[in-house]
Amino acid sequence: MTPQEILSLVKQRNPNEPEFLQAAEEVIVSVWPVLERNPEFVRLRLLERMLEPERLISFRVNWLDDQGNVQINRGYRVQMNSAIGPYKGGLRFHPTVTPSVLKFLAFEQVLKNALTGIPMGGGKGGSDFDPKGKSDDEVMKFCQAFMGELARHIGHRLDVPAGDIGVGGREIGYLFGAYKKIKNEFTGVLTGKGIGWGGSLIRTEATGYGLIYFAEYMLQEKKDSIKGKTCLVSGSGNVAQHAIEKVIQLGGKAVTASDSTGFIHDEAGFTQEKLDFLKDLKNKRRGRIKEYADKYKCEFHALAINHEENPLWNIPADCAFPCATQNEINEKDARNLLKNGLKLLGEGANMPTTIEAINVLIDNGVLYSPGKASNAGGVATSGLEMTQNYMGSNWTSDEVDSRLHGIMKNIHDTCLAAAKEYGKPGNYLIGANIAGFLKVAKAMQAQGVV
Ligand code: NDP
């Protein structure tokens, strides 16, 4: 077998699933040297088995909108791999959700969760439901209908979903309430819960904070730091907000944020006060990002994402943190970043950079971290939330934050060690893929052909 043969097999089995095939190709190429060293992994077809979900559940979700009209959505849960622990991974509510998107996210999640060092398998789920423009009552009714089916497939020792795009604290609350009602039990079946009913301090902040801790560790390798660095951030949701917050706290300057309507460029940089305005705008009032530009008299550019070339990535900066969605940086964007002197790109979103763009960055010496390593702080802290739920106790912010620091450092060092061992020193992409793959592969090997 060659990497191309495995990829064409995966293509045959998963036609019309471009996002899943993109994620699969990146990993197949990266982990090939591991298979060459371990013929037993090839015989057991561990990579091909990892690329096949253990279970893919698809279901109808019916609910009544505020006008009494019947609405129909699709719900999904992809239970990708449970070799090292219960399935774990977020729920995404967005019109672009398809089996392909969820399978790519679930596959990435398997390797990411393995990197955290916490015993969690990988899964992902969601719906094509769009919470945008819906009333709180409609979101609640949808969440209750969605959980009406999902509840039979999840459990605190079986599969523990969390948030993702379109699923924040409000949605987790409604989903948890519905699960508790259906099952008549109070367990840590979801993470990202509210403080006071099983949630963990720092879970909300963890993905964005962890991303910047990871970037700081990468820069430290080069005797450098975030301090004084100009940073581009895309997105304005959970991950983007807390990445910006940590950049501010570490003395860097975050100058952009975006949503699906466009991006703002604030040359003076975010302050905590401006960020608080953004948080209120996005989390409470659920408004559009242009309001930020109107308030702080800075530039607004319409339609930032999914264009041939995104002007956000053509702003001179030292660091870039894509924190919105998949494939938001293409080869042209990468060349623009490079031309403007970029030193580091840390992925906050999952797969925000195309394969071609990644190659441009790595080949030109930019420090690049894949999301499965640098955004793993979120799921790691979800793992800490699960531990606190099992123990029936709560840790302080400092305790969780210091564990988050330790986990990000450990992932960083694990990636570097694996990259070095396989002859690609400093390549975080190859390091992350190999280290995550090895952990899951060894567990699958030990557990037999099941
Ligand atoms: P949110 O829903 O809180 O925010 C998402 C942001 O990205 C919004 O600003 C949204 O704009 C924008 N966005 C989403 N989809 C699109 C699209 N198709 N085109 C343009 N803009 C888009 O999500 P999160 O911050 O939680 O997630 C962001 C990324 O981080 C995702 O890739 C997610 O998988 C990843 N991630 C999240 C983790 C978490 O803990 N939350 C953990 C690890 C990874 P708008 O408001 O207009 O929709």
Q: Atom 22, ligand 1: which residue's CA is nearest? A: 260
Tell the residue nearest (CA) to atom 3 of ligand 1: 237
Res. 129: pLDDT tops 90: yes
Within 6 A (CB) of ligand 1 lie 94, 96, 163-166, 168, 207, 235-240, 259-260, 305-306, 323-325, 348-350, 375, 378
* Ligand 1 midpoint to CA 46 (Å): 31
**Which residues lie across from 21 on neighbouring strands?**
none
What dihedral do alpha carbons 19, 20, 26, 28 form, nearest 10°? -160
Q: How far is the CA of 339 from the centre of ligand 1 (A)?
A: 27
Q: For residue 76, give Cα distances in angstroms to 17, 123, 165.
A: 15, 11, 15
- The pLDDT value recorded for residue 306 is 59
Q: Walk me through the domains of the chain, giving residue ranges and CATH numbers.
A: 54-185 (3.40.50.10860), 205-374 (3.40.50.720)
What pLDDT score was predicted for residue 43?
97
Q: Does the pLDDT at position 324 exceed 90?
A: yes
DSSP state for residue 151 in the 8-state scheme: G
If you write DSSP's letter for every residue of 97-153 in order, what string do you get? --HHHHHHHHHHHHHHHHHHTS---EEEEEES---TT--HHHHHHHHHHHHHHHGGG
Cα distances (Å, whole numbers) of residue 343 to 55, 320, 359: 41, 9, 15
- If one residue of 238, 244, 384 were mutated to test the ligand 1 pocket, choosing by the most ligand atoms within 8 A of its CB, it would be 238
The token duo for 367 is: 């420090």
Q: Tell me, what's the pLDDT at 307?
A: 73
Cβ count near 18 (within 10 Å): 14
Nearest CA to ligand 1 atom 10: 259
pLDDT at residue 304, as a whole number: 53
- Mutational pocket test of ligand 1: of 100, 193, 256, 260, the residue with most ligand atoms within 8 Å of the beta carbon: 260
Residue nearest to atom 2 of ligand 1 (CA): 165
CA separation for the pair 133, 75 (Å, rounded) = 19
- Indicate which residue's Cα is closest to atom 5 of ligand 1: 237
d(CA 337, CA 319): 9
State pLDDT tens for residues 313-322. 999 999 999 9
Write the DSSP symbol of residue 193: P
Judge whether 85 and 129 are in contact, CB under 8 Å.
Answer: no
CA 448 to ligand 1 centroid distance, Å? 37
> What mean pLDDT is predicted for residues 139-146?
98
pTM over 0.85, yes/no: yes
The per-residue pLDDT for 303 is: 78
In the chain, what percentage of residues exceed pLDDT 70?
A: 99
Condensed to tens digits (0 to 9), the pLDDT of residues 244-273 reads 999 999 999 999 999 999 999 999 999 999
The residue type of 25 is: E
Atom index in ligand 1 nearest the CA of residue 203 equals 40
Percent of the chain clearing pLDDT 90 (strictly above) = 98
Tokens of 74: 């699709």
Question: If you measure from the C-alpha of residue 32 to the centroid of ligand 1, how many angstroms do you get, rounded to a whole number?
Answer: 31
**Nearest ligand 1 atom to alpha carbon 166:** 2
Q: How confident is the model at residue 243 (pLDDT cuts 50, 70, 90)?
A: very high
**Ligand 1 pocket, mutate which of 120, 214, 239 (most atoms under 8 A from CB):** 239
How far, in Å, from the CA of 35 to the mean position of ligand 1? 34
Q: Whose CA is nearest to atom 44 of ligand 1?
A: 349
Average pLDDT over residues 124-138: 97
Q: Cα of 325 to ligand 1 centre, how many Å?
A: 5
Q: What is the chain's mean pLDDT, rounded?
A: 97
Tell me the two tokens of residue 197. Answer: 């009913």
The whole-number average pLDDT for the span 142-155 is 98
- pLDDT 10s digits, 333-344: 999 999 999 999
Helix (H) / strand (E) containing 345? strand 344-346
Query: Long-range contacts for 39-44 (Cβ within 8 Å, ≥24 apart)?
Result: 40/445, 41/441, 41/445, 42/1, 44/444, 44/445, 44/449
User: Ligand 1, closest atom to CA 351?
Assistant: 32
Angstrom CA distances, 33 to 18, 29, 37, 297, 336, stand at 25, 8, 6, 52, 32
Contacts of residue 250, defined as CB under 8 A and 6 or more positions apart, other chains included, come to 212, 216, 225, 226, 227
Report the catalytic residues. 124
- Ligand 1 atom at minimal distance to the Cα of residue 378: 40
Strand ranges (E), 172-277: 230-233, 253-254, 256-259, 262-265
Question: What is the C-alpha separation between 126 and 102, in angstroms, rounded?
Answer: 8
Rounded to whole angstroms, the Cα distance separating 91 from 101 reads 12
Model pLDDT for residues 1-59, shown as the tens digit of each residue = 889 999 999 999 999 999 999 999 999 999 999 999 999 999 999 999 999 999 999 99
Tokens matching residue 410: 């450990």
- Encode pLDDT of 397-419 as tens digits: 999 999 999 999 999 999 999 99
Q: Which of 249, 159, 242 is nearest to 257 (CA)?
A: 242
Give me ligand 1 centre to Cα 349, in Å. Answer: 7
To test the ligand 1 pocket, which listed residue (105, 165, 205, 282) has its Cβ within 8 A of the most ligand atoms? Answer: 165
